[in-house]
Chains A and B, each alone.
Chain A
Amino acid sequence: MPDPAARQRAMARAGQATLDELHAALAQAGANPVAEDLRRPETGLVMVRGRIGGDGRPFNAGEATVTRAAVRLPGGETGFAYHLGRDRDRARLAAIVDAHWQRPEARPALDAALAAIAERRAEAAAQAARKVAATRVNFFTLARGED
Chain B
Amino acid sequence: MYVAVKGGEAAIDNAHRLLAEARRGDPAVPDLGVAQIREQMRLLVDRVMTEGSLYDPDLAALALKQARGDVVEAVFLVRAYRTTLPRFGATAPVDTGAMTLTRRISATFKDLPGGQVLGPTFDYTHRLVDFALGDGADPVPAAEAEPEADAAVCPRVTDLLGQAGLLEPSPPDAGAPVGDLTREPVDYPADRAVRLQGLARGDEGFILALGYSTQRGYGRTHPFVGEIRVGAVALEFTPEELGFPVCLGAVDLTECQMINQFHGSDAVPPQFTRGYGLVFGQGERKAMAMALVDRSLRAAELGEPVVVPAQDQEFVLAHCDSLQATGFVEHMKLPHYVDFQAELDLVRRLRAEHAARAADSVPDESAWPEAAE
Give residues in A with beta carbon < 8 Å to B: 4, 8, 11-12, 15-16, 42-66, 68, 70, 80, 82-86, 125, 127-137, 139
Chain B residues 62-103 with CB under 8 Å of chain A are 82, 85-94, 96-97, 100-103
Q: Are A52 and B192 in contact (CB under 8 A)?
A: yes
Q: Are B100 and A61 in contact (CB under 8 A)?
A: no
Q: Are B148 and A136 in contact (CB under 8 A)?
A: yes
Give Cα A128–Cα B93 distance, bound, in whole angstroms: 25
Q: Are A62 and B50 in contact (CB under 8 A)?
A: yes
Q: Are B97 and A45 in contact (CB under 8 A)?
A: no
Q: Are B239 and A86 in contact (CB under 8 A)?
A: no
Q: B147 to chain A: which residues have CB within 8 Å?
A: 129-130, 132-133
Q: B30 to chain A: which residues have CB within 8 Å?
A: none
Q: Are A139 and B144 in contact (CB under 8 A)?
A: no
A66 interface neighbour in B194, B200, B237, Cβ under 8 Å: B237
Give residues in B with beta carbon < 8 Å to A: 49-50, 53-56, 58-59, 82, 85-94, 96-97, 100-103, 110-111, 115-119, 142-148, 151, 156, 158-159, 169-174, 176, 178-182, 192-194, 196-197, 200-201, 235, 237, 239, 241-242, 244-251, 253, 255, 257, 274, 276, 278-280
B111 interface neighbour in A50, A52, A66, A139, Cβ under 8 Å: A139
Q: Are B239 and A80 in contact (CB under 8 A)?
A: yes
B55 interface neighbour in A8, A50, A57, A62, Cβ under 8 Å: A62
Chain B's nearest CB lies how many Å from the CB of A51?
Answer: 5
Known: A47-B180, A49-B92. A54 touches B249 (CB 8 A): no
Give Cα A44–Cα B142 distance, bound, in whole angstroms: 37
Q: B82 to chain A: which residues have CB within 8 Å?
A: 45, 63
Give Cα A78–Cα B176 distance, bound, in whole angstroms: 34
Q: Are A133 and B146 in contact (CB under 8 A)?
A: yes
Give Cα A63–Cα B53 distance, bound, in whole angstroms: 6
Q: List 16 A-B contacts (CB under 8 A).
A: A16-B249, A45-B86, A54-B156, A54-B255, A56-B170, A56-B172, A57-B176, A57-B192, A59-B179, A60-B197, A63-B55, A65-B56, A66-B237, A80-B242, A84-B235, A137-B117
Chain A's nearest CB lies how many Å from the CB of B213?
Answer: 23
Give Cα A83–Cα B88 distance, bound, in whole angstroms: 12
Known: A62-B50, A63-B82, A86-B56. A50 touches B94 (CB 8 A): yes
A4 interface neighbour in B87, B244, B251, B280, Cβ under 8 Å: B244
Q: Are A136 and B116 in contact (CB under 8 A)?
A: yes
Q: Are A55 and B88 in contact (CB under 8 A)?
A: no
Give Cα A128–Cα B173 distance, bound, in whole angstroms: 34
Chain B's nearest CB lies how many Å from the CB of A82?
Answer: 5
Q: Are B90 and A47 in contact (CB under 8 A)?
A: yes
A-B contacts, CB under 8 A, total: 233
Known: A16-B249, A86-B59, A125-B100. A50 touches B278 (CB 8 A): yes
Q: Are B115 and A136 in contact (CB under 8 A)?
A: yes
Known: A50-B278, A125-B100. A61 touches B200 (CB 8 A): yes
Give Cα A83–Cα B142 distance, bound, in whole angstroms: 31
Known: A46-B88, A49-B94. A84 touches B249 (CB 8 A): yes
Chain B's nearest CB lies how many Å from the CB of A132?
Answer: 5
Chain B CB count within 10 A is highest, among A57, A60, A139, for: A60
Q: A11 to chain B: which residues have CB within 8 Å?
A: 246-247
**Which B residue sits closest to A68, measured CB to CB?**
B88
Give Cα A83–Cα B249 distance, bound, in whole angstroms: 6
Known: A60-B197, A131-B144. A51 touches B173 (CB 8 A): yes
Chain A CB count within 10 A is highest, among B100, B156, B278, for: B278
A57 interface neighbour in B110, B118, B174, Cβ under 8 Å: B174
Chain A's nearest CB lies how many Å from the CB of B232?
Answer: 9
Known: A133-B146, A136-B148. A85 touches B170 (CB 8 A): no
Q: B115 to chain A: which residues have CB within 8 Å?
A: 136-137
B171 interface neighbour in A8, A56, A70, Cβ under 8 Å: A56
Known: A12-B247, A49-B94, A56-B170. A127 touches B144 (CB 8 A): yes
Q: Are A65 and B59 in contact (CB under 8 A)?
A: yes
Chain A CB count within 10 A is highest, among B147, B169, B250, for: B147
Q: Are B117 and A82 in contact (CB under 8 A)?
A: no
A58 interface neighbour in B85, B93, B96, B248, Cβ under 8 Å: B93
Chain B's nearest CB lies how many Å from the CB of A116?
Answer: 18
Q: Are B87 and A49 in contact (CB under 8 A)?
A: no
**The 7 A-B residue pairs with the shortest CB-CB distance in the complex, in nearest-first order:** A56-B170, A53-B170, A59-B193, A84-B249, A64-B55, A12-B247, A130-B144
Q: B239 to chain A: which residues have CB within 8 Å?
A: 68, 80, 82
Q: B178 to chain A: which residues have CB within 8 Å?
A: 49, 58-60
Q: Are B241 and A48 in contact (CB under 8 A)?
A: no
Known: A55-B97, A64-B91, A66-B88. 15 other contacts (CB 8 A): A8-B245, A12-B246, A49-B94, A50-B196, A50-B278, A52-B193, A54-B97, A62-B50, A64-B248, A66-B237, A80-B242, A82-B88, A128-B102, A135-B117, A137-B116
